[in-house]
Structure 1
Amino acid sequence: MAHLVKSKTVEGAKNKWATRWNCFFDAQFLFRRDTGKEFVLDVAAEPQTAKVNRFYVAPDWINEQPSGFPSLKLKHKAAQLLNPVCVGFDGLQGEWEDGWWCNPPFDLKFEFLEKALEQARKGRDGMMLLPHEELTTWWLDLVEGYATMIYKPDGRYPFYETDGHTKKQGVNFGSALVLFTEKGLQTPSMRFNRKVGRTHLTGIYEQIAKVA
């Protein structure tokens, strides 16, 4: 995997950057506003990092767990409120649902983008959180000219470690929210203010926002 930028982040930790709740709230608001739909499935998550109450986990996650599966004990109060349920393994192999959310591992961006395009062509709309790198090959090949909309925040989003609780250090890159639908071919972009999603929460996410 080509590194985004030079950093001192431990090599093994570079691959997974868990979504913070404010970022997800923004994505949720923009997705609902522009598609009229809700997120129903997180296709690249772990118990501690899922942002939708149903998620797919990578097969290797099980092999990484110590005896007793302590990672199943949710640490963040927001995750405890959400209480997500694993409904499948390996988002790259299974079918997604209409209303998917995806923050892919860095070294699988290309594969998840290909899968996102495949699912969008089947009428299954969704959104990805991606490093905002418009001049990279993967962006030019799989985002520009294929995504429905690129949402550019007014600053960088922070991230969690894989425990879904600890703030990730060394966030030296910007991110963008990218919408994929069956209609997307022109790839316009728009600016938005971070935390706009907090003013448009419904259901369990109103409670989550109080502790996130």
Structure 2
Amino acid sequence: MAILNKSQTEKQNKDYWRTSELLINDALTLLNIKGFGTDVCCSSEDVKINSATCYITESNNALESNLWFLASNPSITSFCNPPFSRKWEFFQKAVEQVNKWSQQVLMVLPYTPATKAWSDNVHGQNCIIYVPDGRYQYLLPNGEKSINNCNFDTCLILIVPFKCGNVIVNYKRGLKCID
């Protein structure tokens, strides 16, 4: 299917959209956790997500790193909102890290289950795919809200170290935690 709404983002900025607090809060609520261990894909220290204990910056190259999990507390889930142009490379690296360390990674990816790339990468993996009721608004590289939303649906994919195949969970954005 063709994308009818062409992106207005300049090519050099496509990989630097930032994750909104709404998406982060929904992810934490869905997983029933207080924070993430590692923000795997932050472009620099000043843009890491606040709920992560540590981070891997672009200059540290997460695709070359085997330190996606905290040594002091490896049971904490890592978070990955990969550069758009390299999303499938990061997905494959996340699967490798999950299988190597028996920990889990939550990824933010476009929800495109009918595509060949999705089929080649996601099908056959052990993932819980969280599908929101609408689109999230991402932040510009400078942290400001964009005038436009992204022109594709987003999902959260929890890559897990146990056999489950692909499990799909639909949810409403803006979840409230039940205490």
Asked if residue 43 in structure 1 is aligned to residue 6 in structure 2, the reply is no
Give SS of 1:40's match: strand
Asked if residue 179 in structure 1 is aligned to residue 151 in structure 2, the reply is no
CA deviations on 1:112-167 (whole Å, 9 max, x unpaired) are: 01111001112021100101111222211111221421000010000001122343
Equivalent residues in 2 for 1:19-168, closer than 5 Å: 19-32=19-32, 38-45=35-42, 46-51=44-49, 52-59=52-59, 89-95=60-66, 96-97=68-69, 98=74, 99-122=77-100, 123-167=102-146
Alignment size in residue pairs: 166
9-18 or 92-101, which deviates more: 9-18
**8 A Cα contact 1:160 1:167, kept in partner:** yes
4+ residue stretches of structure 1 with deviation over 3 A?
none
**8 A Cα contact 1:17 1:168, kept in partner:** no
Q: Which has the larger radius of gyration?
A: 1
Q: Matches of 1:170 and 1:22 in 2, distance apart?
A: 14
Identical columns (%): 30
**8 A Cα contact 1:17 1:160, kept in partner:** yes
Gaps of 5+ in 2: none
User: Are the structure 2 counterparts of residues 185 and 4 from structure 1 closer, same or farther at C-alpha, using a change threshold of 3 Å?
Assistant: farther
The structure that is helix-richer by fraction is: 1
**8 A Cα contact 1:25 1:201, kept in partner:** no
Gaps of 5+ in 1: 60-88, 203-212
Over the aligned positions, Cα root-mean-square deviation in angstroms equals 2.4
